[in-house]
Amino acid sequence: IFNGLNKPDNCHVYLQKTDELILKNMDKIEDFSKGNLTVNFNSHGYSEASKLFSTLNSALSNIRNMMLKVSESIKSTVNASTGITHSTAKFVNEINAQKTYTNNVAESLSEMAKTIQQTSQNASRASKNAKCSLEKAGEGKELVDKTKDQTVKVVEIISESADTVKE
């Protein structure tokens, strides 16, 4: 590269071409400094400036490839997160359905317990009433038996009186 630069005219041409190359790339350098990674520097020739711009083009290409990989990783992460979110939402819905079902079962069991308690109370009352009725029936039988015995005595007395009157 530096061969032949020992002559003033050659140095002048080299510096002029290098200066032109830098000037052609100034707008791109400014865009790159603002974060534009899509610039492509002019790098034709064999000067040190050409090598610098060629190296910058390679570096930018590597950065773009890395950004694509990072972007793809982010998309994969977002997709996985979305899947997890959907699965979690489905799981929460299933838990809520189980909660509702469990509450319904608990309410049904509570109603059954109340019904069983009422049935038990009614059966207890019916048993007391039956016992009372049995006692009353027993008392009624005793009265009927006494009445029968007294009726038999009255009949005997009337028979004896009739026999006495006949005589």
23: confidence class by pLDDT, cuts 50, 70, 90: very high
Q: In whole angstroms, what is the distance from residue 53 CA to residue 42 CA?
A: 7
For 35, list phi and psi in degrees, rounded to 5.
105, 5
For the entire predicted model, the pTM comes to 0.53
The answer on pLDDT for 4 being more than 70 is no
pLDDT per residue as tens digits for the range 127-163: 999 999 999 999 999 999 999 999 999 998 998 888 8
Higher-confidence residue of 8 and 138: namely 138
Judge contact between 39 and 9, C-beta under 8 A.
no
The predicted model gives 14-33 an average pLDDT of 91
What confidence score (pLDDT) does residue 15 get? 85
**What ranges in the chain are assigned the alpha helix state H?**
8-33, 48-166
Q: How far apart are CA 24 and CA 43, in angstroms?
A: 10
Q: Where are the alpha helices (DSSP H) in 34-47?
A: none
The pLDDT of residue 160: 86
Measured CA to CA, the distance from residue 92 to residue 98 in angstroms comes to 10
- Which of 45 and 133 is assigned the larger pLDDT? 133
53-103 pLDDT, tens digit each: 999 999 999 999 999 999 999 999 999 999 999 999 999 999 999 999 999
pLDDT computed for residue 17 by the predictor: 87
Cβ 63 vs Cβ 37: under 8 Å: yes
Task: Give the residue carrying structure tokens 């049904």.
Answer: 108
CB 1 within 8 Å of CB 48:
yes
